Structure 1
Amino acid sequence: MNALISIRVGMSTPISSLPDCRRSARRSLLLDVVRPRSRMTLRVASPRSMKNELVHEIWLDPEPDGQLLPGLCLAGPMGDGFSALLNEGAVKAGEITGHSHFDVMTKYWKLQGWGEYPTEHRQDHEPYPDEWALIQRAFIDKFAE
């Protein structure tokens, strides 16, 4: 059983548009960051559930025509390049955890209703590197102290 620690910084707004994602994400949650640019909410699970399972954030990015484009990136500093490209008003709608690119994309495609995630690349099935897990854990640990 994972013990969850909740930390709130600033204000957060719950995203109700993806209720199934939110419920399933809570079961495997390592980190939940809701940040429309500057607002942040963190929930951290116990370290024994974290064996190279990385957290990916699902973002909804508003376009000038009002359409919300979904995007997916790694949580923490490895996703900073992606989040820097988000338009003003972008919101984090949820998160997905996984042990490999294929694992995460399979969950993401299922959530979006796009069918099975296709890949021709064997490396997509390889577990995430230990170094990536260490980088993300260091980011998580900063907020758990």
Structure 2
Amino acid sequence: LKNVHAFTLFATHYHELVAMADESEKLKNYTVAVKERGRAITFLRRIIPGGADRSYGLHVARLAGLPEALLKRAEVILADLESSGSGYVPAPAEAARSSGFDGNNGLFSNSVIDRLLEVDVMSMTPIEAISFLHTLQKEAEEGSGVK
């Protein structure tokens, strides 16, 4: 930490960074303000000091329109991880392989799953990611007979 001279670091939700900021005067954390009413979440589009107290990834996925069956399965996995208290979160490819989404559940074909597990999304530009998703969507529609 003493040798880091970065001016800005952006992360979606890394609780380790929140802990590091508590230990250093040089680090500051900011988060998006959130209003919660029961299970309803509203992102207030306001940046405030501090770190997020939990992940809102499933809420964002729901807002993005991901299939409800996928979200329900993700909720089960998240609950298992939180109840285990191990702090272990599998890598995305490992989580997908062990989550029961093997292509036999009707959500995605094996081809789509394989391509998702192989792609390095973090190295794509936004337009490359959109194009990739569009291609996968076409493949999934063809595989499921949905048009």
Structure number with the higher helix fraction is 2
Q: Which has the higher contact order (CA 8 A, sep 6+)?
A: 1
| Structure label with greater radius of gyration | 2
